[in-house]
Amino acid sequence: MTNKRLLTLAAGAAALAFSASGAMAQDSCGSVSMAEFDWPSGELLANVDKIILEEGYGCDVQLVNGGTTTIFASMNEKGEPEVAGELWINAVRDLLEKGIDEGELKIVNDGPITGLGEGWWVTPKFAEEHPDLDTVEKLLEHPELFPYAEDESKGAFIGCPAGWGCQLINANMYRAFDMEEKGWELVDPGSAAGLDGSMAKAAERGEPWFGYYWAPTAMIGKYEMVLLPFEVDYAGDENWNGCIALAEQDCEDPQKTAWTKSEVRTVVTDEFAEKAGPAQDYLSKRIFPGEIMNKMLVYMQDEQASGEDAAYYFLENHEDIWTEWVSDEVVSKVKEEL
């Protein structure tokens, strides 16, 4: 951080008074601890929040690094950190609902990032050349369009490496959609690098690729991969949690289903909600478009940028987005820092 930024931060934390909207009881949100989740979008989002909350609202923000379960456990049991900007709630849903019911936690944003989730993707050139195959079910009738290198009589579907939770899901989905009978081979990419490499190789050569991935990620943003929708609806938690997500031997009869919805929330502690004033209003309004988030992750990967560096890049290059989240007064204060 530059000296100018340090001086501005200190001055802002000491002197800022909020505009007299009359809606908020506090003049400053004071000291705040925020989760900096240990994946690129989590690092970026946390640092954008930090800059805007400090420069625009006079907060003093400390970032707490960690993963979903460890951060949430600390937040739920100790009230630290006070803000989780990008909490993927499927892994902690029951405890989160309990914390909300007991008044300890509060959801202030139902979707801080759009266009996220898991599923089955194809390369953009394939999608452009085959607009008629625009659903999973339609594509599954054409394994000949994705020849498997080791047996070209079969179509290759690229699943997850061994040990990943999605490996079990893909294997059971493979059975549910009768993919073997349709002429498909479920291919284990061997590792994360193998999965990324297979996608990158196909996308850069303009070859067809069909397989599992998730967003927001640099890979989806860099290669502009296309997510295929399912024609079937989500078949329910009993089928998903009680079969699809389990080992094959524990899932005798998997049913066809769309992917379970990935849900991300911004969650704060009750203590933060009481003191934050307009800073909480900011958290409720800031939504990163999925396409922009993917491009930012490509930037972070290509430039080896830290979350803080990427946050300044975002604020400097996507003013049209973040200025919609805050007042003109806050815009002026943040732009003085850039």
d(CA 247, CA 77): 31
In contact, 213 and 121? CB cutoff 8 Å: yes
Q: Which amino acid is at 168?
A: L
Instruction: Give the domain ranges of the chain.
Output: 31-115+263-317+332-337, 117-250
Residue 11: predicted pLDDT: 37
> Whole-number mean pLDDT of the chain?
90
CA dist., res. 337 & res. 322, Å (int):
14
Q: Is the pLDDT of residue 26 over 70?
A: no
For residue range 74-120, what is the model confidence (pLDDT) as tens digits?
999 999 999 999 999 987 888 999 999 999 999 999 999 998 999 99
pLDDT at 90: 83
- Which two three-digit tokens encode residue 56? 């625009």
Q: Say if 31-115+263-317+332-337 and 117-250 have the same CATH topology.
A: yes
Structurally, what CATH architecture does the domain formed by 117-250 represent?
3-Layer(aba) Sandwich (3.40)
CATH number of 31-115+263-317+332-337: 3.40.190.10
**Res. 137 pLDDT band, cuts 50 70 90:** very high
User: How many Å apart are CA 216 and CA 222, to the nearest integer?
Assistant: 11
Q: What is the pTM of this model?
A: 0.81
Measure the N-to-C terminal CA separation of the chain; round to a whole number of Å: 11
Structure tokens at 141: 């009738």
Half-sphere exposure of 204 (CA within 13 A, CB side): 8
Whether pLDDT at 68 is above 90 = no
Q: What is the three-state SS of 218-270?
A: HHHHHHCCEECCCCCCCCCHHHHHHHHCCCHHHCCCCCCCCCCCCCEEEEEEH
Beta-bridge partners for 106: 268
Comparing 82 with 276, which gets the higher pLDDT? 82
pLDDT value at 25 more than 80? no
Torsion of the alpha carbons at 216, 217, 221 and 225, rounded to the nearest 10:
-90
**What is the pLDDT at residue 163?**
82
Residue 123: what pLDDT?
98
Position 1 confidence tier, pLDDT thresholds 50, 70, 90: very low
DSSP string covering 24-76: -S-S---EEEEEEESSHHHHHHHHHHHHHHHHHH--EEEEEEE-HHHHHHHHH
The phi, psi pair for 318, rounded to 5°, reads: -130, 50
Rounded mean pLDDT, 3-26: 37
Nearest to 14 by CA among 55, 62, 51: 55
Report the C-alpha gap between 127 and 337 in whole angstroms.
Answer: 43
Which is more confidently placed, 115 or 156?
156
